[in-house]
Amino acid sequence: MKLTAFEIYKYSIPIEPFTIATGTMHFAQNILVRAHTDAGITGLGECSAFPMIVGETQATGYEMAKDFAAIWKGKSADDIAGRLAELHLYTAGNYTIKSAFDMLLYDIAAKQAGQPLYQYLGGERRKIETDVTIGIDTAENMAASAVKFQDQGFNIIKVKLGKSPAADLERIASIRKAIRPETQIRIDANQGWTFEEAVYTLGQLAQYNIAFCEQPMRTYNDELLPELCQLSPIPIMADESVYTHRDAQRILKNKAARYINIKFAKSGGINEAILINQVAEQQGVACMLGSMMESRLALTANVHFAMAFTNLAFFDLDTCLLGQLADPVTGGFKYNGMQLEITDAPGIGADVEQGYLDKLEHITI
């Protein structure tokens, strides 16, 4: 089955401003790629650029996607490993836009097999419960958001930190005071602290019953993570420190994290996510499946992946709840409170309204 044409869209989605330690986003900088085959099967892939994390933007992804489409046009969609190897040979990094092309191949493969993606990946239906994230704001506003989400039925609150230790301590104290003791709090510093700040802040935050902390320091401080893991009463989860399975091998060999956060847009898609999870599982390390600012299309692929790999113990698949002001996706998963539910439609089982896409900048290769 040959790939015959590619439609590439600057798939922008307006959002309410969302702030983390490294910056504020005002719209989801996504790319959507629809691939056609000579068998009449189409595959869709979506990625979400987060420039302050991955160094890619919607504009760079759009230009690179044109090159990827030209490389793949006329070639077999069945050879997933071969197609991805071509992209890695063509350019180093650029994992975000690579993840969209990876995803569309898996969509095609599952559709050809007549299976929903989770079955194609060898999985079964299971309970998937997401957390919900609170962006950086005043302590008062963040506590109010936590109460709102708790009242909506969420059991797990993820809190963005990393601006300053004093303010971060105030934020968590306010949130913990406002919500029920049994409501879980996870924190994510997004590389915002120095080593000394991380040691101090994590020590102070232990009294608030924190499940774990994602990425407390800049990745150039990875050599300090083993020491931080020993000093911190709160377990450390590596996020930006793990892009590929080789990063996972390095981090786990050095005992530099208790958990790993896997994200398609950070690591290049499903194929690499499988490898990262394998490395972690072999070391007895549980993983979280996270997300950037994807629409329900890419998030549906994430839910399929979550069902396929039981070593994934934590889920951060709430991006559509973080103030997205449009939902042009048809089919796909649905939020049932904190639970994520999908259908058994073949492949990813989601598409995007063509009328929405027609208004966007796009090109056909």
Can 263 be counted among the known catalytic residues? yes
What distance in Å separates the CA atoms of residue 18 and residue 121, rounded to the nearest whole number?
A: 33
Give the H or E element holding residue 101.
Answer: helix 95-113
| DSSP letter for each residue of 290-314 | --SS--HHHHHHHHHHHHH-TTEEE
Can 158 be counted among the known catalytic residues? no
Q: How many CB atoms lie within 10 A of CB 344?
A: 10
Phi, psi (rounded to 5 degrees) for 260: -130, 140
Does residue 86 have a known ligand-binding role? Answer: no
Q: How many CB atoms lie within 10 A of CB 164?
A: 14
Three-state secondary-structure class, residue 112: helix
The amino acid sitting at 177 is K
Q: Are strands 362-364 and 350-352 parallel, antiparallel or unpaired?
A: unpaired
Tell me which DSSP letter residue 50 carries: -
Ramachandran assignment for 127, one of left (phi > 0), alpha (psi -120 to 50 degrees), beta (any other): beta
Q: Find the catalytic residue in 2, 160, 163, 359.
A: 160
Does residue 63 have a known ligand-binding role? Answer: no
What distance in Å separates the CA atoms of residue 179 and residue 151, rounded to the nearest whole number?
A: 9
Does residue 188 have a known ligand-binding role? Answer: yes
Q: Using an 8 Å Cβ cutoff, are 364 and 5 in contact?
A: yes
Short-list 129, 168, 95, 43, CA closest to 318: 129
Q: Find the catalytic residue in 263, 266, 334, 359.
A: 263
Structure tokens at 355: 């009328």
Q: Using an 8 Å Cβ cutoff, are 22 and 240 in contact?
A: no
What distance in Å separates the CA atoms of residue 28 and residue 188, rounded to the nearest whole number?
A: 20
Structure tokens at 1: 């089955």
Annotated binding site for Mg(2+): 188, 214, 239
Residues tagged active-site:
160, 263
